[in-house]
Amino acid sequence: MLLWTKKLAIRLLATVMICNFMVCTFTGCGDQKESGEEKSPTGEVQKVQPTKEGEEDTPTPTSTPTPTEPEKEVRTDFYISSIDEKIPSMYEYWKEYFSIGIAITKGELLNDFKGELIVQQFNSMTCGNEMKPDALLDREATKSKGTETCPVLKFDSCDEMLSFCVDHNIKMRGHTLVWHSQTPDWFFMEGYSNKQDAVFASREVMLARMENYIRLVMEYVNTTYPGVVYAWDVVNEAIAPGDGGENGMRMSDSLWYQTIGPDFVEKAFEYARKYAAPEQKLFYNDFNTYEAAKRIAILELVNKIKDQGNIDGIGMQSHIGMSSPTLLDYEETIRKFGETGLEIHITELDINLDSNSEEDFMKEGTRYKRLFFTFKNLVDTGVANITNITVWGLTDEGSWLNKDGKRYPLLFNQVLETKPAFWGILMDEGIPLY
């Protein structure tokens, strides 16, 4: 009853918002629905789940065609309310290929409608911020109960998100253990000092802190929520060619590099392997991986760790633009990463679109469709073992990209309607491939 009342309230609110949204956004677009009009995904192209090449191609139409059945129409309405209508599931559609993930914050996940949509569309989850060191490290408890080499952690930021995954059979990418960003400066200082004149802890102390941090996170997650985390971003964004570090490593803003030295990445993977559950995959994750110099430096680094037996995959964040990188450059990186034999996760996909015109939304849909076409082709041809695609956010409204002005990078709008981008991922015939 309570949920129904909530739904009604949200529907009313959504109707008002849709009204505003449509007036501002789509004025002049002939086939947009009127506010209050009953929407139905008619004209829906039958969804045939792709099967990998070499496997028997047995499309399973949802209805048996009869000679009198009219020809299927190509979809023209891309803005379908996920609250009111049943829409196809992306993870179901791609399940023979890779899992489909969502990066989300706790506040959004615990919203009934967003939670429902996530359960329907995604089988992998990443915490947007809630599993990062600044969320888990408890300075007060560390000062009072920790030791110089062992901090104290708290998990209230991510507990509900992990429980959600348990309840809904969603797997979690653990993001992220060792990162220069969102790790408090005091963690690198003698006595965990946060004073201006604090001095760095020694390399030995920092190695011990790193090992204990990784151990504590993994022990907690793996005993409290066994089987939920299937992959860890062990090290995030350690390569920044030109920043002064050895072998293209980030140095100027990395306190990990400055306190431990360039082998901090290898050490992190060594500790991660030691404490991870046997089935958990260990990833190196970075952005702009399609930049040639960066790609080369990443390859050198991961190949070294691969030789040590401590890495299973490479994460390509993939915060991309509408035209840059070219799909050729992007694909080239996947091909090169594929040559390592490691798994590939597309960990943070979004498209930095700064316009909300109908035309640009369709172009965005095309770019998403071509990306997934590329992923599929690379898997089909055995070039790359791509096992997860994660989008960085649910709605345009909640995207991190809005910090630089309004952006429209994702698959759902603020009232949880699908955008052409969503249908592009489903390879819908209404979205042009070119």
What residues line the site for ligand G3I (CB under 6 A)?
128-129, 181-182, 236, 287, 317, 348, 400
* 116 noted as active-site residue: no
Phi first, then psi: give them for residue 215, nearest 5 degrees.
Answer: -60, -45
Q: Active-site residue among 130, 211, 348, 417?
A: 348
CB of 135 to ligand G3I, least distance (A): 9
- What are the C-alpha distances in Å from 69 to residues 59, 60, 63, 65? 18, 17, 10, 6
CB of 405 to ligand G3I, least distance (A): 15
Entry field: residues in the chain: 434
CB of 236 to ligand G3I, least distance (A): 6
Burial of 120 (0-12, 13-18, 19+ CB in 10 A): middle
Contact status, residue 325 vs residue 371, Cβ threshold 8 Å: no
- Across 93-158, the runs of DSSP E, i.e. the strands, are 99-104, 124-127
CB of 93 to ligand G3I, least distance (A): 26
Nearest by Cα to 285 from 238, 253, 242: 238
User: Which C-beta is closer to ligand G3I: that of 373 or that of 400?
Assistant: 400
CB of 182 to ligand G3I, least distance (A): 5
Task: Find the helix or strand (DSSP H, E) in which 352 lies.
Answer: none
The number of beta carbons lying within 10 Å of the beta carbon of residue 49 is 14
Map residue 172 onto helix, strand or coil. Answer: strand
User: Which C-beta is closer to ligand G3I: that of 111 or that of 129?
Assistant: 129
User: Which C-beta is closer to ligand G3I: that of 280 or that of 289?
Assistant: 289
Chain residue at closest Cβ approach to ligand G3I: 400
Nearest by Cα to 420 from 327, 331, 356: 356
Q: What is the DSSP letter of 197?
A: T
User: Which C-beta is closer to ligand G3I: that of 14 or that of 316?
Assistant: 316
- Whether residue 27 is preceded by a cis peptide bond, meaning omega within 30 degrees of 0, is no
Structure tokens at 202: 């020694």
Phi first, then psi: give them for residue 148, nearest 5 degrees.
Answer: -60, -25
CB of 307 to ligand G3I, least distance (A): 26
Q: Active-site residue among 211, 237, 343, 417?
A: 237
Cα 420 to Cα 424: distance, rounded to the nearest angstrom: 6
User: Which C-beta is closer to ligand G3I: that of 22 or that of 158?
Assistant: 158
Map residue 316 onto helix, strand or coil. Answer: strand
Cα 393 to Cα 391: distance, rounded to the nearest angstrom: 6
Cα 149 to Cα 146: distance, rounded to the nearest angstrom: 8
CB of 44 to ligand G3I, least distance (A): 33
CB of 354 to ligand G3I, least distance (A): 17
User: Which C-beta is closer to ligand G3I: that of 25 or that of 129?
Assistant: 129
User: Which C-beta is closer to ligand G3I: that of 35 or that of 129?
Assistant: 129
Cα 133 to Cα 147: distance, rounded to the nearest angstrom: 17
Nearest by Cα to 111 from 418, 408, 395: 395
User: Which C-beta is closer to ligand G3I: that of 130 or that of 358?
Assistant: 130
* 237 noted as active-site residue: yes
For the annotated catalytic residues, the residue numbers are 237, 348
